[in-house]
Amino acid sequence: MKQPVGVILAGGQARRMGGGDKGLLRLGSSTILGHVVARLEDQVARLALNANGDGARFADLGLPVLPDSIDGFAGPLAGVLAGLDWAAGEGADHVVTAAADTPFFPPDLVPRLLLAAEVEGKPIALARTEDGRHPTFGLWPVALREDLRAALQDGTRKVVAWTDRHGTAMADFPTGRFDPFFNVNTPEDLALAQSYLETP
């Protein structure tokens, strides 16, 4: 299997943070999004960002910015589709996605997802910890992009409602001091993330 490309999903509305881009909030010496980029870029062949609105606000990252192609706020599956469309143009067979507000996800995310898909013989793989599935962290085949487009146009919004139709492998990750897929949704979460960063 070719090395997949990566897409960071930053299309959320961040209501619990008062709106705006959570990923651009400071965390230590970088931003939340900066930590995500640093963790994912060495695991993939190329990297892009799924975000809506003016892409110039992410210019410092030097990444392609991919808007949703589905009208309205269609959730993370719309970001997956944008990533699959971009990947098809790049000649890639698979995309690995990561959420823009999850700065501590495992540094071996991609190889573990690839291994799970291969061992279980499934087209899609999702990350899982003892807290459950983490459906914004997944391996997605470009071959399913038209199926996903049709599902979104028919109103499907929940990630697992679509993945469960196709067969999904699970890549299990240990939970240490905290779930590595901990995401920053509130100001309190941001303070907690800062404490995790300061006491590894």
CATH number for the domain including 79? Answer: 3.90.550.10
- Mark 74-96 as b/e (b = at least 16 C-beta within 10 Å): bbbbbbbbbbbbbbeeeebebbb
Residue 16 has pLDDT above 50, yes or no: no
Burial class, 124, CB count within 10 angstroms (exposed 0-12 / middle 13-18 / buried 19+) = buried
Residue 55 has pLDDT above 80, yes or no: yes
Q: What is the DSSP letter of 185?
A: -
Number of separate domains in the chain: 1
Mean local confidence (pLDDT), 24-43:
96
Per-residue pLDDT tens digits for 57-86 = 999 999 999 999 887 778 999 999 999 999
Domain that holds residue 181: 5-198
**pLDDT for residue 20:** 64
**pLDDT for residue 11:** 74
pTM of this structure = 0.93
Per-residue pLDDT tens digits for 121-170 = 999 999 999 989 999 999 999 999 999 999 999 999 999 999 999 999 99
**pLDDT for residue 150:** 96
